Structure 1
Amino acid sequence: MTKIPPLNSLQAFEAVSRHMSIKLAAEELCLTPTAISHRVKALENHFGVRLFHRMTRSLKLTSEGKQLLPFVSEAFGQLRQASVAMTSNDIEGNLVVTTTRSFAWSWLCPRLPKFTQKYPDLKVRVLASDSVLDFARYSVDVSIRHGAGDCEDAHVAWVLDDFVTPICATNIAAGVKSPESLLDMDFVEYEWLGFTEGDPDWANWFKSNGVAPPNKEPIGSFSDEIMCIEAAIDNRATALVSIIAASREIDRGRICAPFTSVLKDRSYYLVCPSDTAGGAKIRAFEEWLLNEADDFRESDYWLRFFSDNEIAAH
């Protein structure tokens, strides 16, 4: 009978192959980089082949490593699924959710108390970051991502479509009568990390409303949507931001959206590893989140932008 190599060596190999980094694999497994290197070397000695090409600042799988990886990945995936199945009825412990800072602050966090009241034994931790955080490295259970939903080898569920519209402080809104009136105002610009030419901007919003874009520079440009909204308030200016991000301050009466004209932005998706999607706490959070999204799309706030009960849907 063929001798099976040590499980800890296989685990180290799988983590290093996934991250293509000994350092990141060590952080995930709570080991030192030296210990990871020793375990990978032990696996290479077991098979009598090299599994990685070790270059100056990077790693690359050898042909033997590429041959081994699918079997090891599948085996650990099945182990994770078995672990989920063994605890599938437990809605307790910790749930780590990551999403963008603006979505966390403006939409998710005001609604979270309803979830925690429903599941008091489940402690929710929110990691707000505009970067996509690695599930394993940061012990993330669920991510709510702003994008196109094209996440390979993951469970993905559409949450909300996003749209942008101009906003301004409530105390200057009376002077904003038409899109043309914005031409005389200062404006601030929001361009998040990863912003591309295809994303909505001031020029496209003005064009969609039949107005030539102003030939002037913004008084400020921000990569953080909350900062952009605050800058518009402080400088008596206008900003083009997400109707989702603006919803909280509009409810508070600090800002308003003078027009119902919007531009389509990216969408929000719930994403989690496929092998943990069946866990009870993940399923509970997903069901709650999608129900909250349905309620939001049916709210007076949302329907103001989409007349004749034509709800913008995915």
Structure 2
Amino acid sequence: MTNDINFYSVNLNLSDMDRLPPLKALRVFLVAAEHGSFKVAAEKLFVTQAAVSQQIRLLEDYFAKPLFIRLNREVRLSPDGASLLPYIQQAFKAIEEGSRALSVDPSPNQLKITSLPSFAARWLIPRLGSFQQAYPEFNCLVSTSCDLHDFSDDSQDLAIRFAEGGNTQLMEKVLTEDYIVSVCHPDLLQTKDGADLNLGSLPLLIDDSPELKQVNAGFVREMGGKNQVVLQLLDSSLQVDAALNGQGVAPIRYSLVYEYIEHGHLVCPLKCYWNSPYANYLVAPEANFDRPKVMAFTNWIMEEVRAVEAHWQMFKDTSNFSLMDD
């Protein structure tokens, strides 16, 4: 007998697959055989000793041969079990090597991120320099898209998406909840004669994305209900630009504009806010989150968004904002 098994010489068809022994039982056999103990095997596999015994009996029934000799305080491989062991060891070694080959990061020093255009332009890029200072061993490649990347290739390591969540094919980590506030340039609220401003006279800038339909309706109502919507967009970043240019009042996610509010470039004419129907997520296959570069980025960005959340709580409380339930 030789341990040098040529797996490529085996040509399996469906009927052969039906006759293969159960993989779970083979795994239990391997651990029990290598440790010479059903008890230790149970501990290693996080199952009960009875479950180990059951899987071994299943395998022995399959081969119609005893694979272990049961003694009072130990078990030993039978001659048939000893004959089987090197084949099972090599088979599982091949499986592990194949799995590692699929999970190897082809570009360990380059972090490839796909983000929504608005989040990339207004939030990520202005902060990314601090990540690169903290982790100079990684360089970043940022691309923008509104589509959910399927990670069928290695073109991306991580996606940042504004979504409902619930993707069962990928791992999702909540980055931050978000809140929608009304913003405009401060000059838009100033009247020439110092009279009280009629909010109903102000032009509106709307992000016409379908998920914001209910928020937009509440915003228009709070602004007077008879306002003229002068600009409709499908990109929040362009909406921010329009507000900064004094073109109107816009309902925009706080995370995209809070620094403009902090520096006085934008103000909030309404003392209310809406919960966003979506949240910001980090999205990737589970294995990607174990990559050192993705772990570093995740830790960094989670710390950054905690600062934004703290800023929001302080701003909301000091401004006496109330939640609009629309």
TM-score by length of 2: 0.60
In structure 2, the residue corresponding to 1:200 is in which secondary structure? helix
Unaligned runs of 5+ in 2: 1-8, 14-94
Amino acid at match of 1:257: C
Distance, in Å, in 1 between the alignment partners of 2:307 and 2:264 is 21
Unaligned runs of 5+ in 1: 6-76
**Identity rate of aligned residues, in percent?**
19
Distance, in Å, in 2 between the alignment partners of 1:168 and 1:80 is 56
Corresponding residue to 2:10 among 2, 27, 32? 2
Matched, 1:116 2:132: yes
Partner residue in 1 for 2:208: 191
Identify if the C-alpha distance between structure 1 residues 308 and 81 changes in structure 2 by more than 3 Å, giving closer, same or farther.
farther
Corresponding residue to 1:225 among 233, 236, 243? 236
Partner residue in 2 for 1:281: 293
Amino acid at match of 2:242: A
Question: Alignment RMSD, CA only?
Answer: 3.5
Contact 1:81 / 1:276 at 8 angstroms: preserved in 2? Answer: no
Contact 2:103 / 2:287 at 8 angstroms: preserved in 1? Answer: no
Matched, 1:82 2:100: yes
Q: CA deviation at 1:199?
A: 4.7
Amino acid at match of 1:254: H
Q: CA deviation at 1:230?
A: 2.2
Contact 1:80 / 1:276 at 8 angstroms: preserved in 2? Answer: no
In structure 2, the residue corresponding to 1:82 is in which secondary structure? helix
Q: CA deviation at 1:235?
A: 4.9
Query: How is 1:170-249 mapped onto 2 (pairs within 5 angstroms)?
Result: 170-174=186-190, 181-192=198-209, 195-196=210-211, 199-201=214-216, 203-205=217-219, 207=221, 213-214=225-226, 216-249=227-260
Partner residue in 2 for 1:163: 179
Deviations 1:12-68 (A, max 9, x none): xxxxxxxxxxxxxxxxxxxxxxxxxxxxxxxxxxxxxxxxxxxxxxxxxxxxxxxxx
Matched, 1:135 2:151: yes
Q: CA deviation at 1:288?
A: 1.3
Matched, 1:295 2:295: no
In structure 1, the residue corresponding to 2:279 is in which secondary structure? strand
Contact 1:165 / 1:257 at 8 angstroms: preserved in 2? Answer: yes
Contact 1:106 / 1:248 at 8 angstroms: preserved in 2? Answer: no
Identify if the C-alpha distance between structure 1 residues 244 and 80 changes in structure 2 by more than 3 Å, giving closer, same or farther.
farther
Q: CA deviation at 1:249?
A: 3.1
Q: CA deviation at 1:4?
A: 6.4
Q: Which has the higher contact order (CA 8 A, sep 6+)?
A: 1
Distance, in Å, in 1 between the alignment partners of 2:151 and 2:134 is 25
